[in-house]
Amino acid sequence: MSNVLANQERLKIFGLLSPAYLWLTVAIFLPLSAMLYFSFLSDVPFGDAEWTYTANNYRAFFQTSTYATLLWKSLKLGLMVTCISLLVGFPCAYVLAKAIKGRSREALFLLVILPFWSNSLVRIFSWAIVLRGNGVLELGLNAILPFEVDVNLMFTTPAIVIGLVHSYLPYVILTSYLALQAIDDNLIDAARSMGANKLTILWRIILPLSLPGLLAGAVLIFVPVVGSFMEPRILGGRVGTYFGTVIEDQFVAVFNWPLGAALSFILLAVVLLILAVASPVLKRAQT
Amino acid sequence: MKKQFLMATTIAVFGTAAAADEIRVLNWQGYGTDLDWAVGAFAQASGHTVVHEYFNSEQEMLTKLRTNPGAYDVVLINAAFTPQAQEEGLIGPIDVTLIENLSDVPPDIAGNPDLNAGGALHGVPWTWGLTSFAVNTGEFDQTPDSIEVFWDKAHEGKVSIRDDALEAVQFAAIATGQDINNISDLDAVQAKLAELMPQIKTYWGSENDWNQFMAAGDLDVATFWSGSASRSMAAGLPVQFVVPKEGAIGWLDGLSIPTSSTKKEAAHQFIDWMIDPEFYVKWAADGAPASANAKAAAALPDEAFNKRILGDPEVVARVQFQRPVSEENRKKYLELWQGLKAAQ
């Protein structure tokens, strides 16, 4: 009897899980395996091109300092964008979760999610119009301020950071919002009634309880930013060469797919390593 | 008029022999073959329709030829890549009897060793041009005549070159007085480029990029292609194309027919139309590279960019034409360029 039940239960679980896992297999696992295969070839196996199995593509990473330098530069960029997004996004999520109710919350939420609904290229080119010398930002500031300012952020690292923060801010707001909303208001009231000041409440209650959301947001931002290539290329100009743009070059400009694939997997490995090292902290935060 | 009639009749004769075909052309986007009026005129005269597919780099073009046999009937190949395509068996020899206008192409161009890879003509010379630079005329009282303007501190942060390893290395080879096809002192090239990097505001990727950066006043001086420069000047940008005394990089583009094409006759007809003076004069009015067809070049009005600058034998004497680059050198150049970019 219990066996039949268990079987039925198993069937149900299987039925519910299989669409997602089938999709993941087809859409992620297969292309990734193909790329992993490519990364061990000497040439793209199209047409008559001759190719052999080799680990040279991975060796190439260590042969010059170019790739390591760029990877380090990309990691620093990821860290910077993640920190700024957390600093900007968390207060916003707090206000949305705890201070504002009803209609105005919906309206504010819409504004937060809006970047998700616009094409990323359109977003980046809009920033290019705003940030360039003689651009919208400079004209606007000079119209308001009594003195002349010269704002030309285009083709600088700050321009890249601004573009990336804009693209990824919604992640941290959404994940923090969910975590903050789950905090029972009574806890905060209780702390206050026992004499805790605002800073103590933030530090001892709100931050620890919302940490899982905050960290989830941080991971969601950090990983894609480290591999980003569009924002650095368009907004960064001369300083916009990162690990992601070099990988893109291998696929688009140089047609060295095997090297591009190998560099991608090195990036993946480094990111996984960072997450693994950080996982004790992440786990502690969740309990 | 007589010529036009002749073309119409020759095409009509072919047209009746072969049924209306749809030929597929592989080219850079917006590079002559896909002009609406040109394709329309060809369809009207021959009955063949033309469909386009585009590539963004020579490597992509070669990959497309390798992976899609039979998909293309005409392909644009830079002469520096024709030997490789011929060697891989991707393109077949041209039947010169089917291309009437070929007789108007000067023998030194038609006999180009790269286009004649494997001992037979494998690419019909179509256009040629220069990779040199253009300046924003608003920022210069006198048009500079030396490539050293790129290293002039007065233009720091107002300089751009294309994000392309080969072009960057050959550009610096010219600046260091070397043969672009046989660079003996690569260290000098690297040092020269390293010195250039702080001057650069951004790299440009496409003609559109270039025009936008110039129009926004981001740049004073930037490397550019002659054909693109003529278009930008025609569009009213305040720029002037310069062939400096140190020289410039020259390139030659040919039209080839893939071995796997099933519509070779229609493909030959299309190529014949592409080197026809009538087509070229009309194309040049909107900005085109120089034609390989002497008759077409001569038919241009005297004030035309391609006649004024590229028609000057003294200028042509300074040009170093690009030859094929070995895989080994290509890799070396790429490493050099990536290293320089990563150090920024």
Blockwise average pLDDT, block size 10, chain A, 287 residues: 76 90 90 92 73 90 92 96 96 91 87 84 88 81 82 89 93 93 91 91 91 91 94 92 93 86 95 89 67
Residues B218 and B256 reside in one and the same domain: no
Residues B152 and B120 reside in one and the same domain: no
Rounded-to-integer distance, Cα A48 and Cα B104, Å = 36
From chain A, pick out residues whose CB is under 8 angstroms from the CB of B164: 253
Residue A176 inside a domain? The answer is: yes
Residue A37 inside a domain? The answer is: no
The reply to whether residue A47 touches residue B67, judged by beta carbons under 8 angstroms, is yes
Residue B179 inside a domain? The answer is: yes
Q: In this complex, which of A46, A238, A246 lies closest to B63 when CB atoms are compared?
A: A46
Q: How close is the nearest chain B Cα to the Cα of A52, in Å?
A: 17
Residue B99 inside a domain? The answer is: yes
pLDDT in tens, B70-91: 999 999 999 999 999 999 999 9
What is the number of other CB atoms lying within 10 angstroms of the CB of residue B140?
A: 16
The reply to whether residue B217 touches residue A133, judged by beta carbons under 8 angstroms, is yes
Residue B176 inside a domain? The answer is: yes
Residues B172 and B156 reside in one and the same domain: yes
Residue A2 inside a domain? The answer is: no
- Residue with structure tokens 């292309």? A31
**Domain interval for residue A120:** 64-286
Report the pLDDT value the prediction gives residue B306, as an integer from 0 to 100.
Answer: 86
Residue A209 inside a domain? The answer is: yes
Residues B233 and B168 reside in one and the same domain: yes
Report the pLDDT value the prediction gives residue B245, as an integer from 0 to 100.
Answer: 94
Q: How many domains does chain A have?
A: 1
pLDDT in tens, B147-181: 999 999 999 999 999 999 999 999 999 999 999 99
**Domain interval for residue B36:** 2-126+252-302
Residue B209 inside a domain? The answer is: yes
- The low-confidence residues of chain B, meaning pLDDT below 70, are 1-19
Report the pLDDT value the prediction gives residue B1, as an integer from 0 to 100.
Answer: 44
The reply to whether residue A132 touches residue B59, judged by beta carbons under 8 angstroms, is no
Residues B113 and B173 reside in one and the same domain: no
The reply to whether residue A70 touches residue B342, judged by beta carbons under 8 angstroms, is yes
Report the pLDDT value the prediction gives residue A285, as an integer from 0 to 100.
Answer: 64
Residues B57 and B94 reside in one and the same domain: yes
Q: Which residues, at least 6 apart from A141, have a Cβ–Cβ distance to it below 8 Å?
A: A149, A151
Residues B227 and B296 reside in one and the same domain: no
Q: Is the dihedral of CA A77, A78, A83, A86 positive or negative?
A: positive
Q: State the angle between helix axes of A257-286 and A243-252 in degrees (0 to 180), rounded to the nearest 10.
A: 150
Residues B192 and B212 reside in one and the same domain: yes
* Candidates B65, B202, B335, B337, partner chain A, best to mutate (most A CBs within 10 A): B202
The reply to whether residue A254 touches residue B217, judged by beta carbons under 8 angstroms, is no
Q: In this complex, which of A67, A238, A253 lies closest to B197 when CB atoms are compared?
A: A238
What is the number of other CB atoms lying within 10 angstroms of the CB of residue A170?
A: 21
From chain B, pick out residues whose CB is under 8 angstroms from the CB of A238: 197, 200-203, 344
Report the pLDDT value the prediction gives residue B63, as an integer from 0 to 100.
Answer: 86
Q: Are strands B74-78 and B221-225 parallel, antiparallel or unpaired?
A: unpaired
Structure tokens of A44?
A: 């793209």
User: In 3D, which of B208, B274, B291, B339 has the Cα closest to residue B73?
Assistant: B274
Write the CATH number for B234: 3.40.190.10
Report the pLDDT value the prediction gives residue A49, as an integer from 0 to 100.
Answer: 64
Residue B38 inside a domain? The answer is: yes
Q: Is B97 on the interface with A (CB under 8 A)?
A: no
Residues B294 and B200 reside in one and the same domain: no
Rounded-to-integer distance, Cα A222 and Cα B275, Å = 54
Q: How many domains does chain B have?
A: 2
Write the CATH number for A274: 1.10.3720.10
Rounded-to-integer distance, Cα A193 and Cα A188, Å = 9
Residue B308 inside a domain? The answer is: no
Residue A50 inside a domain? The answer is: no
The reply to whether residue A66 touches residue B217, judged by beta carbons under 8 angstroms, is no
The reply to whether residue B344 touches residue A69, judged by beta carbons under 8 angstroms, is no
* Candidates A241, A242, A247, A256, partner chain B, best to mutate (most B CBs within 10 A): A241
